[in-house]
Amino acid sequence: MSDVMQSGTFSSIEVPNRFALAPMTRTSAEADGTPNALMADHYEGYAKGGFGLVITEGTYTDDKASQGYANQPGIINDTHVAGWKTIIDRVHAGGSKIFVQLMHAGAQFQANRYTHQPLGPSEVTPKGAPLGLYGDQQTWQTPSAMTETDIRAAVDGFARAAANAKAAGFDGIEIHGANGYLLNQFLSTHFNKREDGYGGSLDNRLRLVLEVVRAVRKAVGNRYPVGIRLSQATVTDPDYQLPEGESGFRTVVEAVRDAGADFVHTTDGEVNRKHFVEGDQSLASVAASVEGVELIINGGIDETNYQDMANQFPGALLAVGKKALANPDFVQRLKDGKEIGDLDFAMLQPKATITNELAWREKNAA
Ligand SMILES: Cc1cc2nc3c(=O)[nH]c(=O)nc-3n(C[C@H](O)[C@H](O)[C@H](O)COP(=O)(O)O)c2cc1C
């Protein structure tokens, strides 16, 4: 794909252009995790606004400890699947493809209707404070260190959720391995203090990530897009660095590819942030240099730099977050040469719900 506005193939599916909506949690599902009409309108808006690929918000994978936020959507039963089907149909009718992001919150746990006890690699809380955008919790709860049984249940949850996603009609799956949620916690030396086969060396810290990629791949078969989002940063610790640096990150990308991932989605504050303990590359440039895996890049992509990004990362999809929240028709606006505004965070206050966004839009429409 040479031109960012041209259709092409990504992970074996046809996309109408190279813009993706970045996954963004909106805590607007029903209390039982069922995606609803409000969400269908919301996601359809991005398809109509020109995004070639819509990636959903982080969606929980089991009825144990995977849910992290109240009103987060799930994909663990037939009711959830039916809710997603409506959304998928609306996005497809709008001309876009849609991937679901499968997420286990791990220690980044603010609310869960199935359990009060968070699980994580070790009894270590995230840095900083819980996210006010998603709930009123003031402090993190201390997670229990996952037993082998908990780990098996989490892997099985991802596999069942993946099968549900395929049955619902999603065009592909993004596993959430970034931003400080469970899989990222296992990779992180802040969270992971384990002394068994899941802790210590990078190979051990990668073990759960690879088990999940393999289980998801097995659940959906070979010719179905599966990828994983990766970061060093977490939502409350933007400066965390893997001690293994650039070469360690390359090992991670190669390993997820070998386990069955078609694509890697890198996310950082800026696509080109050089933030490894050694070396002068970004997450995106390391991932781009690994053969046999496709790429989605994310972090600070806007109307001024998208063409440079597209040229710098040929074939990669460009995932847009805050600019898309501010302008659901971001891609159409680029095509039409229209003005593109910045996100006013008041739109996500006091909580990042779609209802609050709509109220903000009504108030600011004049
Ligand atoms: C309100 C909000 C919710 C988010 N929820 C998620 C999420 O569910 N999953 C995820 O991987 N990233 C999530 N992110 C991070 C974005 O996907 C993206 O990485 C981040 O906004 C940086 O990209 P940008 O500079 O284009 O905004 C969220 C960001 C925002 C602003």
Cis peptide before 350 (omega within 30 of 0): yes
Q: Which atom of ligand 1 is nearest to the CA of 324?
A: 26
For residue 2, the model assigns a pLDDT of 47
pLDDT, one tens digit per residue, over 242-298 is 999 999 999 999 999 999 999 999 999 999 999 999 889 999 999 999 999 999 999
For residue 53, the model assigns a pLDDT of 98
Residues 101 and 118: their CA atoms lie apart, in Å, by 20
For residue 279, the model assigns a pLDDT of 87
pLDDT tens for the 366 residues of the chain, in order = 448 999 999 999 999 999 999 999 999 999 999 999 999 999 999 999 999 999 999 999 999 999 999 999 999 999 999 999 999 999 999 999 999 999 999 999 999 999 999 999 999 999 999 999 999 999 999 999 999 999 999 999 999 999 999 999 999 999 999 999 999 999 999 999 999 999 999 999 999 999 999 999 999 999 999 999 999 999 999 999 999 999 999 999 999 999 999 999 999 999 999 999 988 999 999 999 999 999 999 999 999 999 999 999 999 999 999 999 999 999 999 999 999 999 999 999 999 999 999 999 999 986
* Ligand 1 and 298: CB distance under 6 A: yes
For residue 51, the model assigns a pLDDT of 98
Cα–Cα distances (Å) from 105 to 31, 160, 252, 284, in that order, read 17, 17, 20, 24
For residue 255, the model assigns a pLDDT of 98
Residue pair 173/162 in contact by the 8 Å Cβ criterion: yes
* Ligand 1 and 234: CB distance under 6 A: no
Residue pair 289/325 in contact by the 8 Å Cβ criterion: no
Alpha helices in the chain (DSSP H): 37-48, 78-93, 148-168, 182-187, 202-220, 245-259, 283-288, 306-312, 322-326, 330-336, 354-363
pTM: 0.98
For residue 366, the model assigns a pLDDT of 66
**CA-nearest residue, atom 22 of ligand 1:** 299
* Ligand 1 and 267: CB distance under 6 A: yes
For residue 182, the model assigns a pLDDT of 98
Q: Domain ranges in the chain?
A: 8-363
Q: What is the CATH number of domain 8-363?
A: 3.20.20.70
Catalytic residue among 43, 46, 69, 181: 181
CA of 235 to the centre of ligand 1 (A): 9
- Give me the half-sphere count of Cα atoms (radius 13 Å) on the Cβ side of residue 11: 29
* Ligand 1 and 321: CB distance under 6 A: yes
Terminal C-alpha separation, the chain: 40
Residues 333 and 339: their CA atoms lie apart, in Å, by 7
